Structures are given as structure tokens and as C-alpha cells.
């Protein structure tokens, strides 16, 4: 299966983020996307948050009332193995955009709206220690910096171009 952007999401701050039909990606993230807590979210090293469709679908089967964008991701991916995400990997999205994964996302209290146990189901001490052997690795999403910006659309292919890890 071709890896792709399933959905692009933005919000005026906080959760959830809602889908848009296209987005301009800049070094600070998706233009038009805001953060309630910019000291925690956003910035050059956390410009984008990626979460895999497959992780959201898994959580939905466990009874969480989720949808794509609910967990605050800017890009909902499809066909990327989130268990293989590592800091330092670079991906091309569409024709122009290049991102570099920086760190796993530590879930915030805002996720409790979907269930008090959600943060514990997507994040543990091993993920916090950046140990990819955790069974929860990648479930909470991964932050990325923007190496090269540009315009992206849902359906844009995602391709691993560098793995300096």
C-alpha cells in the first residue's frame, strides 16, 4: 500500500483539529493552525504532529470515541508503519514538503476528554525514554520539524527519503 496523507487538520487552538482541503506547510507547521499552549506544542521542533490512521482505528476498536484529528494531529497518515517511526527520519510529502521526525508526542491532559485511560493506552515509560521496543510506540503520534515547506493535499504520497538514526 502506498503511504499517504489521509487527512490534514488544523484548529484555532486545542482539540480537536478539523480537516482542511489543502494546507501550506511552513517551518512553524500548518499555516492557520494554532496552539493553546505554545510553550508545549508547536515551535520548530514540534511544527507538525503525525498520527497514523491505523493507531486511531486501533483505539476506536478499544471503545474510545475518536475520529481523525481528534487527538490533535496535523497529519493523519495512512500506510506508514508507526512502529517504525524514529527521530531523524526524513520523509517527502507530495512533491515539495520534506519533514524530519523529532520525538514521540507525550500525551496531554486534553486527551482525557476521550477517556481517562487514553493517555496510558498510547504512552508509557519506555516511549518517554524513547525506547521503540514499547508496545505503545508511535500510538501517541510523532512530532516533526519542517525541512522544506510547500503545499500539500489529502492523498499526497509520503515517502521515506533518509534514515539517519
pLDDT of residue 1: 67
Q: What integer pLDDT is reported at residue 163 of this predicted model?
A: 86
14 has pLDDT over 60: yes
Per-residue exposure over 67-88, b if at least 16 CB sit within 10 Å of its own CB, e if not: ebbbbbbbbbbbebebbebebe
pTM: 0.96
- What's the N-to-C CA distance of the chain in angstroms? 24
- CA–CA distance, 99 with 5 (Å, rounded to integer): 13
Instruction: Flag whether pLDDT at 164 surpasses 80.
Output: no
The chain-wide mean pLDDT, for the chain, equals 95
| pLDDT over threshold 70, residue 116 | yes
User: 4-163 belongs to which CATH class?
Assistant: mainly beta
Amino acid at each position: 500500500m502506498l503511504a499517504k496523507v489521509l487527512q490534514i487538520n488544523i484548529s484555532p487552538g486545542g482539540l480537536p483539529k478539523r480537516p482542511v482541503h489543502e494546507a501550506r506547510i511552513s517551518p512553524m507547521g500548518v499555516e492557520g493552525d494554532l496552539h493553546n499552549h505554545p510553550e508545549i506544542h508547536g515551535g520548530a521542533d514540534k511544527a507538525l504532529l503525525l498520527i497514523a490512521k491505523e493507531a486511531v482505528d486501533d483505539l476506536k476498536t478499544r471503545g474510545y470515541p475518536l475520529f481523525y484529528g481528534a487527538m490533535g494531529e496535523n497529519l493523519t497518515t495512512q500506510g506508514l508503519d508507526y512502529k517504525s517511526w524514529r527521530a531523524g527520519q526524513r520523509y517527502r510529502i507530495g512533491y515539495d514538503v520534506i519533514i524530519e521526525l523529532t520525538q514521540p508526542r507525550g500525551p496531554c491532559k486534553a486527551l482525557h476528554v476521550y477517556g481517562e485511560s487514553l493517555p496510558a493506552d498510547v504512552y508509557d515509560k519506555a516511549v518517554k525514554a524513547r525506547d521503540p521496543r514499547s508496545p505503545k510506540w508511535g500510538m501517541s503520534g510523532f512530532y516533526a520539524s519542517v525541512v522544506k515547506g510547500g503545499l500539500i493535499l489529502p492523498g499526497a504520497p509520503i515517502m521515506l527519503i533518509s534514515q539517519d538514526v
